Amino acid sequence: MTHVAIVGAGPAGLFAALELAQGGLEVTVLDMGKPVAERDRGDGFDLLHGMGGSGTYSDGKINFHPQVGGDLMEFMSPNQAWALMDHIEALFERYDVAVMTTDDQETLDLEKQAAKAGVRFLPIRQAHIGSDHLTAMMERFYEDLLDLGVQFRFRVRATDVVAEDGQVHGVTLEDDELIAADAVLLAPGRIGSEWVRRVLQQHGLSVVYNPVDIGVRVEVPAIVMADVIAVSYDPKFYIRAPTYDDMVRTFCVSPHGFVVKETYAEEGVVGVNGHALKDRNSNNTNFALLTSINLTEPVESTTAYGVSIARLATTIGGGRPTLQSLGDLRRHRRSTWSRLSKSPGDVVPTLEDATPGDISMALPHRIVTDLLEALDILARIIPGLDADRTLLYAPELKRYANKPKTDRHLQTELAGLFVAGDGAGVARGIGGAAATGEIAARGILAMARA
Ligand SMILES: Cc1cc2nc3c(=O)[nH]c(=O)nc-3n(C[C@H](O)[C@H](O)[C@H](O)COP(=O)(O)OP(=O)(O)OC[C@H]3O[C@@H](n4cnc5c(N)ncnc54)[C@H](O)[C@@H]3O)c2cc1C
């Protein structure tokens, strides 16, 4: 029987495992983290590693759109891409994940209002599981995969793939153990993107760099965003910032949510993210405001560039994210705790483990300019967003680099070596990661049946 080794128990690896096991293949999932019941969300390592990957303690906001969280149309026709996303949605429905209903007229009105402000608003079918419900869902998913015969090996770190004569033969682990396999799927998430790049380079496989998204997490009183969120739970706005003609977008809106610290220990970098809980609310709403950076020769590694910016921001924040009010940023002065809490109307930060400071010392001028312009433009649709009290946390870094050259099944130039999810730069969220896991699994099944 064809044996498939999957590196990474995140959504990409797990949805691939489901499809492969249902297709009758023998599947082993390898992950350096722990089973879901043993993960501790307060532990920096557990936050991103283990059963469910970084999805387990994410917000669980899922976008069922083939061009959000990756672009499935790179690998298939638009009709096929929409059908795949419908299939992923149906799989989530098995775990009681339901798409939120929206009012068509209100959606159209928001689209029009955005268009008049020169902004693109993208309506999307969305579901919200909530961080506090994800662990239970992951437990059920885990049990179902075990029932299908999927083998899990936790607390093991994959170090390399083994190949001979242009064909993959397995994966090696930290202690040199060889996991022999006829096909290998690399799905190690964003945290594993540098590892993917190294493995591909060692095997002489080509890599295409994706843009890196850098910006801030914006936090405002929830009431400021309430009207827009009533129309779309995670509204996606695309704004062209005039000075540099850069595209800025909103991402991962967390209504009544919390800003959280994200640690990339291996790189010595601290950033921010955000999530909303189903059973606990804050008075604030936060979202990422990101600008995309594409580099050309001679500096093509957007990841290295993004990490170097995040490292600078980490230094200026004294090992913590930097927090500044929009008013202070505009006045070219650093924020301090006393400036941040002067009047009763001020926004109380949901992330206290941050250093009040000056974001213009943490991020390049071009990015700061893009973000300030985008906030001004967005405020035409969301009045109050550009108020002095609006809080900004830096850095918010989204890396999608290290995209291997693949065929449409996500098979690399090395026969039998497939990739999926955020770590391979083909996804940027749970929905996209799951969908690319499914694409790779279908490719492996086709290979096994050939
Ligand atoms: C705080 C937070 C909030 C988020 N909120 C949302 C949201 O609301 N909606 C959304 O769509 N997305 C959200 N995301 C992103 C989402 O979690 C990811 O896009 C998604 O989980 C990516 O799936 P993946 O399978 O590619 O990788 P991951 O989920 O990152 O899983 C990768 C797994 O691979 C393992 N691994 C890595 N390298 C190795 C190795 N060498 N050997 C063995 N194992 C390895 C890791 O331990 C990890 O468990 C959020 C992320 C975070 C951190």
> 189 CA distance to ligand 1 centroid (A)?
5
Query: What local confidence, expressed as pLDDT, does residue 366 receive?
Result: 96
Report yes or no: 119 and 237 within 8 Å, Cβ to Cβ: yes
Q: Which residue has better confidence, 331 or 264?
A: 331
In the 8-state DSSP scheme, what is residue 342? S
Helix (H, G, I), strand (E, B) or coil at 119: strand
Q: Which domains are assigned to the chain?
A: 3-100+125-208+404-449 (3.50.50.60), 212-399 (no CATH)
Across residues 112-126, what is the average pLDDT? Answer: 93
- Residue 298: pLDDT band (50, 70, 90) is low
Query: What local confidence, expressed as pLDDT, does residue 407 receive?
Result: 97
Query: What local confidence, expressed as pLDDT, does residue 294 receive?
Result: 79
380, amino acid identity: R
Query: What local confidence, expressed as pLDDT, does residue 265 receive?
Result: 75
Nearest protein CA to atom 46 of ligand 1, as residue: 49
Cβ partners under 8 Å of residue 220, min gap 6: 284, 285, 286, 347, 384, 385, 387, 389, 390, 391
pLDDT at 132 exceeding the cut of 80: no
Report yes or no: 387 and 326 within 8 Å, Cβ to Cβ: yes
Q: What is the spatial distance between Cα 187 and Cα 199, in angstroms, rounded to a whole number?
A: 13
pLDDT at 233 exceeding the cut of 90: no
> 203 CA distance to ligand 1 centroid (A)?
25
pLDDT at 128 exceeding the cut of 90: no
Of 34, 80, 143, 95, residue with least CA distance to 430:
95
pLDDT at 299 exceeding the cut of 70: no
Lowest mean pLDDT among 53-57, 366-370, 443-447: 53-57
pLDDT at 400 exceeding the cut of 80: no
Query: What local confidence, expressed as pLDDT, does residue 212 receive?
Result: 83
- pLDDT for 313-356, tens place per residue? 999 999 999 999 999 999 999 999 999 987 667 899 999 999 99
Which residue has 């590196």 as its token pair?
A: 7
Query: Probe ligand 1: pick from 430, 436, 438, 439, max atoms within 8 Å of CB?
Result: 430
- Residue 401: pLDDT band (50, 70, 90) is low
Query: What local confidence, expressed as pLDDT, does residue 155 receive?
Result: 98
- pLDDT for 172-191, tens place per residue? 999 999 999 999 999 999 88
Phi, psi of 173 (to 5 degrees): -105, 175
The separation between CA 397 and the C-alpha centre of its own chain, rounded to angstroms, equals: 10
Count, residues in the chain:
450
pLDDT at 300 exceeding the cut of 70: no
**Could you write out the DSSP letters of every residue in 201-214?**
HHTT--EEPPPEEE
371, amino acid identity: L
Which residue has 């206290």 as its token pair?
A: 352
pTM assigned to the model: 0.81
- What average pLDDT is seen over the chain? 93
Across residues 377-398, what is the average pLDDT? Answer: 95
Ligand 1 pocket, residues with Cβ under 6 angstroms: 7-13, 30-33, 48-50, 53-55, 58-62, 69, 157-158, 187-192, 195, 252, 260, 262, 273, 275, 421-423, 427, 429-431, 433
Crossing angle of helices 11-22 and 131-147, in 10° steps, is 30
Report yes or no: 414 and 166 within 8 Å, Cβ to Cβ: yes
Question: Which atom of ligand 1 is nearest the CA belonging to 423?
Answer: 26
CA distances from 294 to 74, 194, 207, 280 (A): 18, 18, 15, 38
- pLDDT for 354-371, tens place per residue? 999 999 999 999 999 999
150, amino acid identity: V
pLDDT at 297 exceeding the cut of 70: no
- pLDDT for 269-294, tens place per residue? 999 999 888 788 999 999 999 998 87
Across residues 36-59, what is the average pLDDT? Answer: 91
Q: Which residue has better confidence, 220 or 60?
A: 220
> 239 CA distance to ligand 1 centroid (A)?
27
